[in-house]
Structure 1
């Protein structure tokens, strides 16, 4: 429970950081707005022409008697839209981070410099095209994992009672875990921490990750909220990444001669970052 609260505090600290750095916040909004417009266009298209697409894909139902063909195609249209909406929520962060890679790299570096006792921000040393390739490759792997969970949870949603109570809660925590992976990847990739090691780090501190990611996942269900929280989420994830790697952090980025404080250490046996 202690880590659960710590994870939520990182989310709040990230929002406070961007509130104090208005210019970084403004630039951080651009990728989210672009992604929101793209996703909204796709969902509107599905709402308008989804039924036509389902009708085209199910010619075998043309000869069914009424009302079975309509009910069957209506059900498939609803499933198509629901799965698309779920996929949009799960992939929103990945696509936004990919579109906004330069923006969020810059924001994350500023957070690192602000809170590091020596004012240093780790750098990957890789060219931009290489960073974009690694980010896209890892994002696809995470989206594939999240999609499998999404299909499983969607199927479980038809179980009476459990599907309407337990499954939505589990879905928020699962989505929160993958959101946190995507967000912490901005800072961890600059430290040359590979995907497998990142996942191991997050699994070793699940309650910390859930405390950060679950509230964010719930908020991201509202697209406009996701756009405005995204810059602060990247900032908070950078702070949490420093915790996961046991790096010294100046609390709230305060300057001066104040002694640096060390955030809680991961449990013994936690994996160390690797290339």
Structure 2
């Protein structure tokens, strides 16, 4: 009889990370299923995303149209180079600009869409909460107070995303690294900030602000990254952000409940216990 060889600690950690990451991806699909069961919510949820989508599509088209001029503007030192190296550098610069524009576009699109569609997305999130047991000690906020908080938190997240985006933009000039490594890092960074923004609605419902949101998600980092990266990649698909933002809000509500140790299974969806006695950072 052969003795089983125990798995190495490193292998267990990788396996645990991948399992949590996969569960995070699954939350997006669960959100899509929950949201898709209500045709009225589908229509209401798409309207704000369509408004934002039209604005951002025009902005992206403008960026693509002027990419050559912008690449030349940020590389004036190459004006005296021979044609081959100059064109290669400016091609790389153009792709770096488009990559930075795409990253910031996805992040700002989500923030703006959530502000425009706050009443609709609040209703979608509320339906998900009710389905899995509701919210203990729900905090009622007026529309204007909720809007001010959303704008303030969105501004902080966007500021931080720009700080990460600038080094990625610079790294995009490095051959091979800029074309293969940077996109992967950008998906991870963009996914993290997307998840942070999308869970704003359910966290505000519990009276929890951005700092508490961060602690809760950091405690379940692989789960958060799995959800965020899945949303980020879907948003890169043409019309993906327009069609999937409401589903992402539903999935983010499930993510918030999971990070706060509240039920996400209807079989165990008894009324959730108060989170006032538990720190979100230890969820």
TM-score with structure 2 setting the length:
0.78
Residue 220 of structure 1 corresponds to which residue in structure 2?
Answer: 235
1:95-152 CA distances to partner (integer Å, 9 max, x unpaired)? 1111111110111111111211xx5576432110111111011001101111111111
User: How far, CA to CA, are the matches of 1:240 and 1:262 in structure 2?
Assistant: 17
Task: Please report the RMSD computed on the Cα atoms of aligned residues, expressed in angstroms.
Answer: 3.1
Judged with a 3 Å threshold, the aligned counterparts in structure 2 of structure 1 residues 104 and 25 are, in CA distance, closer, same or farther, namely same
**Whole-Å separation in 1 of the counterparts to 2:49 and 2:28:** 18
Residue 110 of structure 1, aligned match among 106, 123, 127: 127
Cα–Cα, structure 1 residues 5 and 124, in superposed 2: closer, same or farther, change >3 Å?
Answer: same
Which residue does the alignment assign to 1:29? 46
Task: Return the match for 1:10 from 27, 43, 50.
Answer: 27
CA-CA distance at 1:20 after TM superposition: 1.3
Alignment of 1:126-145 (within 5 A): 126-145=141-160
- For 2:159 and 2:166, locate their aligned partners in 1 and report how far apart those are by CA, in whole Å: 11
Indicate conservation of the 8 Å contact 2:24/2:227, yes or no. yes
Taking the aligned partners of 2:46 and 2:163, their CA distance within structure 1 comes to 30
User: How far apart are 1:19 and its partner, in Å?
Assistant: 1.7
Give the C-alpha shift of residue 2 in structure 1.
Answer: 2.5
SS for the counterpart of 1:125 is coil
What is residue 236 of structure 1 aligned with on the other side?
251
1:197 to 206, 212, 216: 212
Shift in CA distance, 158/271, structure 1 to aligned 2, threshold 3 Å: same
| Aligned counterparts of 2:262 and 2:95: Cα–Cα separation in 1 | 47
Unaligned runs of 5+ in 1: none
Write the distance in 1 (CA, Å) between the matches of 2:70 and 2:25: 42
Number of the residue aligned with 1:169:
184
Assess, with a 3 A threshold, how the Cα gap between structure 1 residues 159 and 46 changes in structure 2: closer, same or farther. Answer: closer
Contact map agreement 1:109 1:121 (CA 8 A) in 2: no
In structure 2, distance between residues paired with 1:164 and 1:89? 19
How far 1:262 moved relative to its partner? 10
Cα distance in structure 2, aligned partners of 1:156 and 1:74? 14
Counterpart among 269, 276, 279 of residue 260 in structure 1: 269
Change (3 A) 1:54 1:156: closer
Q: Is the 8 A contact 1:188 1:241 kept in 2?
A: yes
d(CA) in 2 for partners of 1:214, 1:17: 20
